[in-house]
Copies of this chain bind each other. A is one copy, B any other.
Amino acid sequence: MTHPTPDSASATARYVGSDNQSGISPEVWAAMAEANAGHAPAYGADAWTQAAADGVRRLFDTDCEVFFVFNGTAANSLALASLCQSYHSVICAASAHVETDECGAPEFFSNGSKLLTAPSEEGKLLPETIRALATSRTDIHFPKARVVTITQATETGRVYTPGEIAAIADTCRGSGLRLHMDGARFANACAGLGCHPGDITWRAGVDVLCFGGTKNGMAVGEAVIFFDRRLAEDFDYRCKQAGQLASKMRYLAAPWIGSLRDDAWLARAGHANACAARLARQIADVPGMRLLHPVDANAVFLDMSDSAAARLRALGWQFYAFIGGGVRLMFTWDTAFATVDALAADLRRAAA
């Protein structure tokens, strides 16, 4: 059995499309192997689930409620549904994943809550935008705004600072809104900011965080974390009814034990971020290739001609391109620096 590891280029290293193309990290794999010993109580009554939840509480340094679910679609949708009713609405950036790439999952889980999309600065909502949207309609012919969701890091690879989040949370409190964070790449945000996880969540006023594991070395698994325990009332029933309670819960929980141990989660995310920064540096002088956004996390967005993108693809790279120009190159826990260097060289070639 071989595990791909950073700095060892492999035949499959040419995937830079998304961090969900990567596999299971060694520490996660090892934790699953440890958990795979004999029989255990089902549905979360096992020791691994307890230990993983305790580990999350220690990490955040607060007595939060923690639930482990299968994927980000469900984590975010269940969390949002728990914060509003069907006739309420959720404020998000127009570029938010919940709006653009979940096939209507938030609407399904909530039985009809509307997403109100706002313009943003590279995926980052501003307090004034939220306030404007929350107050633009106050009649019963339009769903009442009840929740704000922000993505940390954003879909365009930016991160909110603790101060920015606190300002948003203040706005929320003043407007009767709850604050949810889609943290599919929360680890990358923490690594990028170099701050304590609590600083950009509960200390800043976030009510619920969906902490992503899949994109950072797990096979499946996200943690839904309620910092205000009262908001978590009956959330276990909600998970069960929505098909998000694993019977063999230990396999959803143990990965968190492995990932939290020795702060592996942070080191892995930091490595992915370092790859993005490395690429950005290497191609800074390539003519015709402009960074579309500052690189705060593990993604590099490049303005690039369609023909250059086609040449890059012809060189064997897998990535996402946007209509009218622009590509996303994304790095993950096991991207080798050699892969980054090869990509930089091929970008230079494609640009020529």
Bits for A11-23, please: 1 = Cβ < 8 Å to B, else 0.
1111101101111
Chain A facing B: main interface SS: loop
Judged by a CB distance under 8 angstroms, whether A197 is at the interface is no
**Inter-chain contact B220/A70, CB cutoff 8 Å:** yes
**Inter-chain contact B140/A237, CB cutoff 8 Å:** yes
**Inter-chain contact B105/A107, CB cutoff 8 Å:** no
Residues of A in contact (CB 8 Å), total 82
In the assembled complex, which residues on chain B have CB atoms less than 8 Å from the CB atom of A78? 243
**Inter-chain contact A251/B22, CB cutoff 8 Å:** no
Bits for A73-95, please: 1 = Cβ < 8 Å to B, else 0.
11001100000011111000000
Q: A248 to chain B: closest CB distance in Å?
A: 6
**Inter-chain contact B71/A243, CB cutoff 8 Å:** yes
Q: Which of B36, B69, B72, B104 sits near A1, CB closer than 8 Å?
A: B36
Judged by a CB distance under 8 angstroms, whether A152 is at the interface is no
**Inter-chain contact A105/B1, CB cutoff 8 Å:** no
Judged by a CB distance under 8 angstroms, whether A114 is at the interface is yes
Q: Which of B34, B74, B251 sits near A219, CB closer than 8 Å?
A: B251
**Inter-chain contact B142/A246, CB cutoff 8 Å:** no
Closest chain B residue, CB of each to CB of A39:
B15
Bits for A92-133, please: 1 = Cβ < 8 Å to B, else 0.
000000001111110111111110000000000000000000
